[in-house]
Amino acid sequence: MRFDLDSYREIADSLVRNKSRSLLTGFGVFWGIFMLLFLIGGGQGLKQLVTREFDGFATNAAIMFPSQTTKPWQGYKQGRYWNLNYTDIDRLKQMVPDLETVTPVVSSWGQTAVYGTNSITSNVKCVFADYAKIEEPSIRYGRYLNDADIAQERKVCVIGRRIYESLFPAGGDPCGSYIKVGAVYYQVVGVDFSSGNMSVQGSADEAVVIPLSLGRKIYHRGNNIDLLCVTGRSGIRMSSLENRMQQILARSHNFDPTDKQAVFIINTEQMFSLMDNLFTGLNFLIWLVGLGTILAGIIGVSNIMMVTVRERTIEIGIRRAIGATPRDILSQIILESIALTLAAGSLGIIFAVQMLRLTQTIVNNLPDMSATFQISFWTAVAAAALLTVLGVIAGLAPASRAMNIKPVDAMRDE
């Protein structure tokens, strides 16, 4: 193709002469590329908002808690209640070696936390130090509970963000301060600013976390625990361990191993897998809609160029008569097609970026919402390259028609 100044001048003159058609056709390309990029950026931002709800939570974990039996078993009637206990922890660790973490949780709801004149209703969560592998804390000040806290039954606690903001409105590091929860004073050793909304036994924002060895005595829980949290070793799918864990608990507590209602198992692996599949389908739909819209615009460009070639039959015939080669005609038509698609597409890219920026500003101004609604630089470059290729494809049919115009036929047409 020839890329000299005269070629570009001819292309510009042609686009100006057919400006109404160019605008109409260009709008199709503009809308198509805008839809594609806006949906891509919007989909990424939406995924960030959704995954943020699960931030810090183990992706291959299971949460087990007892419920009422629904089947009779070995002389026991249905409708019987049972409780998890500390023996179940050792039993699962020994009999299911594929488990990496087995940790219990005991909670006490509706406890009032007080510091000075400030107070707030909280839930006390009693855990071991390895609970951090289930619900990873985001420590802003201090540290999380450790094994020494558990072994020595220390009166220490880690407080959530809302507890911290209510009891210490002036801000600053509260570690070392003592807060009163119920009738007991605890020394604050850490502040957890976890942003995820997926949690066990209440929101982490409103929790006061204390050593389980201490909590079971304060709240007189004896050998019973509220629930068990487990994680699988690397490469082990939690869904493959569910039946084995249920059978072990069934033998220990005398209920039917097939009674799925006797023990509820919440498998986070399935939840995260469902979310991944959802966004895979969403991405497919985004590309389907976006590319479909772009192709509709490109077909419009090809049709308009075909009409333009038909109207310029005499002009093309004269150019052929005075020495223009088929290559010259081909290059002009294809360059016109590329120029039209690139001009409209570039405006679509700019508009999509600005709309995504506006969306991000609106979303981030909402309470507890934060996400990035943008496309990467290379995504924009790839979009421009795609437009160039599609522009060439759109111009091939009109260019082929133009090359086949003979000077004699053009003069006869006049």
Domain extent listing, the chain: 5-54+273-413, 68-98+233-261, 101-226
Reduced to 3 states, what is the DSSP secondary structure of residue 88? helix
Question: How many other C-beta atoms can be found within 10 angstroms of the C-beta atom of residue 93?
Answer: 14
Contact by Cβ (8 Å): 74, 251: no
Per-residue pLDDT of the chain (414 residues; tens, 9 = 90+): 444 555 445 544 554 455 455 555 667 778 888 888 888 888 888 888 877 777 777 788 889 999 999 999 888 888 899 999 999 999 999 999 999 999 999 999 889 999 999 999 999 999 999 999 988 888 999 999 999 999 999 999 999 999 999 999 998 999 999 999 988 999 999 999 886 666 777 788 889 999 999 999 999 888 999 999 999 888 888 888 989 999 999 999 999 989 988 998 888 887 777 888 888 888 888 888 888 887 877 777 777 777 666 666 666 666 666 666 767 777 777 777 777 788 888 888 889 889 999 988 888 887 777 778 888 888 888 888 887 887 777 777 766 766 666 665 555 555
Count of CA atoms in the C-beta half-sphere (13 A) of 103: 23
Contact by Cβ (8 Å): 236, 106: no
CA distance 411 to 231: 82
The crossing angle, in degrees rounded to 10, of helices 377-403 and 268-311 is 30
CA distance 249 to 263: 8
Query: Which of these, 64, 61, 70, 67, lies nearest to 88 by C-alpha position?
Result: 64
